[in-house]
């Protein structure tokens, strides 16, 4: 069951990221604004997508922490959704302060969130680089 929760959480996050970038690809050429403003818009949209993905993982942590047998988060953690979001931000970005520590099966979700965050952040960087490259090549 843990593997299913992990797979669904990752699949939902990757799908959201794909949809945001795909729709941004369709929208950007239609915008009647300067190219640099399109890039700024792209960054803002990407940050929103990443934040949404972080919240998905946070909800999984929050739920798993509430249920028996799924593992727990301990340390500077009060069991709140806000602390779950904070932990998810530090995990997704691989910042990892270490003030909250996962135990039990939840450790596997934590590990895959770090990997997922790394891949999705890199995907965003590649996307924005391609967008900027189109502008540089045309000038």
Sorted by sequence, the CB contacts under 8 Å of residue 93 that are 6+ apart come out as 117, 121
Is residue 98 predicted with pLDDT exceeding 90? yes
Sign of the CA dihedral 94, 125, 84, 102? negative
Pick from 87, 105, 111: which is nearest to 97 by CA?
87
Q: What is the mean pLDDT of residues 61-88?
A: 97
Q: pLDDT tens for residues 8-20? A: 999 999 999 999 9
Nearest alpha-carbon partner for 112 in 8, 16, 21: 8
**Domain boundaries of the chain, sorted by first residue:** 2-25+35-138
121: its two tokens: 């952040």
Average pLDDT rounded to a whole number, residues 59-72: 97
91 touches 113 (CB < 8 A): yes
Give the three-class secondary structure for 96: coil
Domain range 2-25+35-138, CATH class: mainly alpha
Query: How far apart are the C-alpha atoms of 136 and 35, rounded to whole Å?
Result: 10
């Amino acid at each position: 069951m843990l593997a299913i929760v992990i797979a669904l959480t990752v699949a939902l996050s990757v799908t959201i990221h794909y949809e945001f970038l795909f729709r941004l690809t369709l929208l950007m050429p239609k915008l009647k604004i300067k190219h640099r403003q399109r890039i700024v818009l792209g960054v803002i949209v990407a940050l929103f997508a990443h934040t949404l993905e972080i919240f998905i993982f946070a909800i999984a942590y929050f739920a798993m922490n509430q249920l028996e047998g799924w593992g727990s988060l301990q340390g500077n953690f009060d069991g709140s959704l806000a602390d779950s979001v904070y932990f998810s931000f530090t995990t997704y970005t691989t910042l990892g302060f270490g003030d909250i520590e996962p135990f039990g099966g939840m450790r596997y979700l934590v590990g895959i969130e770090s990997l997922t965050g790394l891949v999705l952040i890199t995907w965003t960087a590649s996307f924005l680089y391609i967008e900027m490259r189109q502008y540089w090549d045309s000038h």
